[in-house]
Structure 1
Amino acid sequence: MRGMKILPALLLCLPLAAHAAWMDFDHDFEQDKPWSEVAAQLPPYPKEQNLLPFTVSSATDNRFFVDAESISVGSDQVVRYTVVIKAAGGATNVSFEGIRCESGERRLYAYGHPDGTWSKARNAGWESIRFRSLLSYHKALYEDHFCPGGINVRNAKEAVESLRRGKR
C-alpha cells in the first residue's frame, strides 16, 4: 500500500525527466554543429561623415575610426566593419575586417586604397586577437564595443550606439 502513495509522485516526474533528456539532446546537437562563415560582401568605401572615433590607448598618437555604414552582424555572428586609422604623420590606413566574439578572433578581408577601391586580402584567415597589447585596436573593439563581456552585439545599430557612447 505504501508503494501506491509514491507511484503518483513518480508518474509526475516522468515528463520532467523526458524534457530534461530532450533539452540535453538539442544542446548536444548544437554543440557538435560546426561553425561556418558566410561570404563577406565588401562595403562601399568609407565617407568622412560616417566615421565614428574610438579609443585604443593613450600610448599611441594614431586616431582610430569605424565607418558606421559598414557595420554588420552576419547570421554567422561575425561583426564586420571598416576601420580607418589616421597616423600622426598623415598616413591613413583603411581595411575591411571581421571580429568573431565567440572565439576572440579577427579577420582581415580587404585593404582600402586612396582612390576608393578595395583589394582583397590574400591568405587572410582567422587570427587570435592580441588581448595583452595596449595598441590592439581589435582588443578595444572587442572589449568595448562589439563583444562586451564576450557577448555579440545583436545588430549594427547596437554597435553604432556603443561607438557613439564611447568607451565603457
Structure 2
Amino acid sequence: MTLPLHRFVRPLLAGVASAVLAGAAGAASTMPTSRNDEEEKPWEEAQWTPPASFSLDKVRTFRLEQTTTMEFGIEPTTLQVGSDGVIRYVFVARSASGALNVLYEGVRCQTAETRIYARWDPASGWRQSGTGSSEQSWQPLSFRGATRRQMFMARAGLCDGPTPNNPPARMLNELERGKPDLR
C-alpha cells in the first residue's frame, strides 16, 4: 500500500519547523534584545600632557581663509589621534610681524567640539589653560566666534564627518591642499 506523500511530508516539515524555531529561540535568548541591554560606557577623556618638545622649524603651514595675513600651521610630530578619539596637536599662528601664538589643543570630531589644553611661550614653556576658563572645557565648533579657526581646520582636513581623518599625514596633506573660506 502506498501512503500519499503529503501524509509523510507534512509531519516531517512540522518537526523541522519546530526544531528550527526552538533553536532560534535559544539563540535569541543569549543575544541582547535591544541596544539598551548593551550598556555603553560614557566617554572618558584620555590623560594628556603637552609635548615635551616640538620644532617651530618643522611646522607645516596652511591657509584657512583667503582674507587673513596670519600663517597657520601644525607641528607634524605632535599630531596624534588618542585612544579617546581626540585629535591633539601643537598649533602655531604667526603674524606678518613674526609674533607667535602656540597652543596645544584638541578636536573631537564625534561631538564637533574643541579644547585648548595649554599655551606656550618661549620664556616659560607650557602653561595649562586656567581652571574654570572656557578654554578648560570642551566648546562646540562654530563658524562664528572663538572656535571658528578650529571649525575650519576640522572641515578642511582633521575630521571626516564624525571621525578623525586618519592617518595624521592625510590630515596635514588635506589642510595644506586647502579648502579656504568653508561655509
TM-score for both structures, normalised by structure 2: 0.73
Letter in 1 for 2:156: D
Equivalent residue runs for 1:13-162 within 5 Å: 14=24, 18=28, 21-22=31-32, 24-25=34-35, 29=38, 32-115=40-123, 117-123=125-131, 124-132=136-144, 136-162=148-174
Please tell me whether the aligned partners of residues 84 and 95 of structure 1 are also in contact (alpha carbons under 8 angstroms).
Answer: yes
Secondary structure (helix, strand or coil) at the match of 2:102 reads strand
- Gap regions ≥5 residues in structure 2: 1-6
- How much has 1:105 moved relative to structure 2? 0.5
- How much has 1:157 moved relative to structure 2? 3.9
Please tell me whether the aligned partners of residues 71 and 159 of structure 1 are also in contact (alpha carbons under 8 angstroms).
Answer: no
Larger Rg: 2
- How much has 1:161 moved relative to structure 2? 4.2
Letter in 2 for 1:18: A
- Gap regions ≥5 residues in structure 1: none
CA distance in 2, matches of 1:55, 1:81: 17
Please tell me whether the aligned partners of residues 54 and 167 of structure 1 are also in contact (alpha carbons under 8 angstroms).
Answer: no
**What's the RMSD between the two structures over aligned residues?**
3.2
Q: 1:116 to 1:70 in 2, by over 3 A?
A: farther
Cα distance per residue 1:107-145 (max 9 Å; x no partner): 111001023711111121111111356x82201221122
- How much has 1:94 moved relative to structure 2? 0.4
Secondary structure (helix, strand or coil) at the match of 2:115 reads strand
CA distance in 1, matches of 2:33, 2:61: 44
Secondary structure (helix, strand or coil) at the match of 1:96 reads strand
Letter in 1 for 2:93: I
Cα distance per residue 1:84-107 (max 9 Å; x no partner): 001234321000001111100001
Please tell me whether the aligned partners of residues 52 and 163 of structure 1 are also in contact (alpha carbons under 8 angstroms).
Answer: no
Q: How many aligned positions are there?
A: 165
Cα distance per residue 1:17-60 (max 9 Å; x no partner): 729944845x7525x31000011121134313321112211122
Secondary structure (helix, strand or coil) at the match of 2:24 reads helix
